[in-house]
């Protein structure tokens, strides 16, 4: 299931923070939404699932598999969330219920959306734990007993347990070290592709984006400034704001965690930026 966003505007307290954004994710496609902190990425993600507070004004159109989200009833939105769309949050420690065991946590969407027996739910939970690379004994543990990487695997399992057609991953690797980031991204890509689902992957880091997506949209201060195939966009940057994001990603990320194609494209982008800076210095001189 894809998503088609047209002319999306989001305002808080009368101040618009997302300005007429157009964005599409096709069936089976993995698209990235990248931008600096405060650019409006997460607000767009929450608008897609109807998770914004009631005092936030939303206009435009968000079509999920043909169902209009903007202005939809709570009942319609509840039917979409979990069963047809799943969300992987940035901080699983905060999004998971601290008093529920891992098994109960993963099982909950099945209880809400499907009429299954207890044994059927238990079988699906055990199968999902195996898919995300967690041992069976994790099922009875509480979130505080797990590492950051294990918590995010539980978050992924909870989002995917109902086999949704669209996954929204909102900066799912931000709090993880570079090696665990790579593992989590590879796991998400493998599970999404294996299920034939679509994914919108939100991040501020091009090194992660290049590993998770094939096409990306660059957001700055609530507006789309650049869009295109991820590798091609990295190799031939057109917008100065995108260049700044690439430089920041290279500075903050261990290069060994980058895919080869990303390192090559990013090196070309950095050379492009450096050449421009040299030209500007000569002009000033």
**Over residues 262-277, mean pLDDT:** 42
pLDDT of residue 256: 38
Q: How much is the pLDDT for 54?
A: 87
pLDDT tops 90 at residue 215: yes
Give the per-residue pLDDT at 123: 96
pLDDT category at 252 given cuts 50, 70, 90 is low
Average pLDDT taken over every residue of the chain: 84
> Which residue's entry shows tokens 């080869």?
260
Q: Is 85 helix (H, G, I), strand (E, B) or coil?
A: strand
Q: Which two tokens stand for residue 162?
A: 């109902």
Q: Over 60: is that where the pLDDT of 206 sits? A: yes
Question: In Å, how far from its chain's centre is CA 183?
Answer: 15
Per-residue pLDDT band for 277 (boundaries 50, 70, 90) equals very low
- Residue 234: pLDDT over 70: yes
pLDDT at 239 over 80: no
What pLDDT sits at residue 203? 87
8 Å CB contact between 218 and 242: yes
User: CA–CA distance from 186 to each of 65, 89, 126 (Å)?
Assistant: 26, 16, 21
Domain 3-84+164-225 classification at class level? alpha beta
Q: Which one is predicted more confidently, 87 or 272?
A: 87
Closest CA to 245 of 278, 204, 185: 204
Residue 268 confidence (pLDDT) above 90: no
Q: In what order do the strands lie in the sheet with 56-64?
A: 15-25, 3-12, 56-64, 67-68
Reduced DSSP (H G I as helix, E B as strand, rest coil) percent helix, strand, coil of the chain, to 5? 50, 25, 30
Confidence at residue 262, expressed as pLDDT on a 0 to 100 scale:
46
> What's the pLDDT tens digit per position in 95-148?
889 999 999 999 999 998 888 999 999 999 999 999 999 999 999 999 999 998
Per-domain residue ranges of the chain: 3-84+164-225
pLDDT per position as a tens digit, 12-62: 988 999 999 999 999 999 999 988 888 899 999 999 999 998 899 999 999
Q: Which pLDDT belongs to residue 251?
A: 60
**Structure token digits, residue 81:** 């969330």
Residue for token pair 């709090």: 175
pLDDT band at 91; cut points 50, 70, 90 = confident
Task: Say if residue 231's pLDDT is above 60.
Answer: yes
With bands split at pLDDT 50, 70 and 90, how would you rate the model's confidence at 267?
Answer: very low
pLDDT score of 82: 80
Spell 181-199 as b/e; 16+ CB within 10 A means b.
bbbbbebbbebbeebebbb
234 vs 11 pLDDT, higher one = 11
pLDDT at site 35: 85
């Amino acid at each position: 299931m894809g998503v088609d966003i047209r002319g999306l505007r989001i305002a808080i307290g009368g101040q618009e923070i997302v300005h007429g954004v157009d964005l599409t994710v096709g069936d089976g496609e993995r698209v990235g939404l990248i931008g600096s902190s405060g650019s409006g990425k997460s607000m767009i993600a929450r608008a897609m699932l109807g998770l914004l507070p009631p005092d936030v004004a939303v206009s435009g159109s968000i079509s999920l598999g043909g169902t209009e989200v903007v202005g939809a009833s709570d009942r319609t939105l509840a039917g979409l969330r979990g069963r047809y769309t799943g969300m992987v949050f940035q901080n699983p420690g905060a999004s998971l219920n601290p008093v529920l065991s891992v098994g109960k946590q993963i099982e909950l969407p099945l209880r809400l959306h499907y009429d299954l027996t207890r044994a059927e739910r238990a079988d699906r939970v055990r199968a999902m734990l195996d898919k995300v690379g967690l041992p069976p004994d994790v099922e009875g543990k509480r979130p505080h007993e797990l590492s950051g990487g294990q918590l995010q695997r539980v978050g992924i399992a909870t989002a995917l347990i109902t086999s949704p057609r669209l996954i929204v991953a909102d900066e799912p690797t931000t709090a993880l070290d570079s090696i665990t980031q790579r593992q989590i991204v590879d796991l998400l890509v493998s599970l999404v592709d294996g299920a034939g689902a679509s994914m919108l992957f939100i991040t501020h880091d091009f090194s992660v984006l290049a590993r998770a997506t094939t096409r990306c949209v660059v957001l700055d201060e609530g507006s789309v400034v650049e869009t295109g195939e991820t590798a091609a966009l990295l190799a031939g940057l057109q917008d100065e704001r995108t260049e700044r994001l690439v430089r920041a990603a290279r500075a903050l990320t261990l290069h060994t965690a980058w895919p080869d194609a990303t390192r090559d494209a990013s090196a070309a982008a950095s050379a492009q930026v450096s050449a421009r800076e040299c030209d500007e210095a000569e002009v000033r001189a």
